[in-house]
Structure 1
């Protein structure tokens, strides 16, 4: 209930008024049935701007830190994400990754839309980074299509570290659904899930026009801060 009130009566209309999102390819998002929407991740604003333009509800796998922050701000953030039906994901190890996949498959089993950022974290410099294979494992296990999505302009309005976004127009671009039925039964094969993930990232790159970096964003961030 909170999700629909927030989207249609409170935050949604405000975001549309302020950022006037230009939406392209919305017809590629299925009107019913399970599917994964896989997008680039440039800004905290992505969590709000993409769902606003979709007619269907979408559930995101959100990093656990959004649910465990300290103080009043942390409690408010956690309450918001929980009320909006978003799922906390522990990114600290292999078992954590398996748990995230189980949660995502649970969403798809209910014929719902699942949103995921394959990079695993926000881009710190606006480039597109190597995708993690969880998105491929879920797509192959559930036998669902993947809709690539590109957020364009959200890095400029709210790059990492900026608290309040700049008020500028953004573009949200959806590509044709990717069908991976040719890989059916190969969700446990490393070569197959890597190939599927790379195909998804290539589709996102073509939509977004970003420079691609064949390394994990978290690794590059860590190297830069050390």
Structure 2
């Protein structure tokens, strides 16, 4: 897959890198197809516990839609392509394992929308971001109007989307869009360190915690608590739960198997 690089670290952590540096890692149809094929493999890999999504280099994460490719499309094809980007972001969001977006550089439009589908976002100190679609007489069409408002609040989302403002990583952290900022040369190492911390926790517990948060968020608190209980009950019969208790008793690091 020449637009996607993928490697596995310690058998449990996947690192997916967008690799179209000469085209600002923009979402061409080829990149979308390659990304989806890679997700097919990721979904079938029972050993993976965390996925990091980033890009090659230190300048660009993803500039969004490939506007040069789009310029030759008719209206129907444009709508179809926007739908493909939206479907990809939703697919990332629905992965059972946690995802970390390591924003290594510029992330605009659909590129930033991709990070909104991830569970955690960290950024390079030099990264620039924005949902800039209204400056092109369109709107965010891959979930940005919905995910950004849920993440940073209604008023903030309206401000950034309606002005098409571009902003840096410090501002992104201030508004709660990213959780941590690192120097460009340290970003991937820090993402890997965070992934290892997550991967060292009980895999079933981590998956169920993610599910409980995601499923419960749109519900009333009463219904959300029911979802939490259902997810908690999934952890009770696992060998990992017993291993966690035994490791605590023996004052050692638990060896979780995801079972």
Flag the structure with larger Rg. 2
- Greater RCO (Cα-Cα under 8 Å, separation 6 or more): 1
- Structure (1 or 2) with the greater helix fraction: 2
Structure 2 length as normaliser, TM-score?
0.27
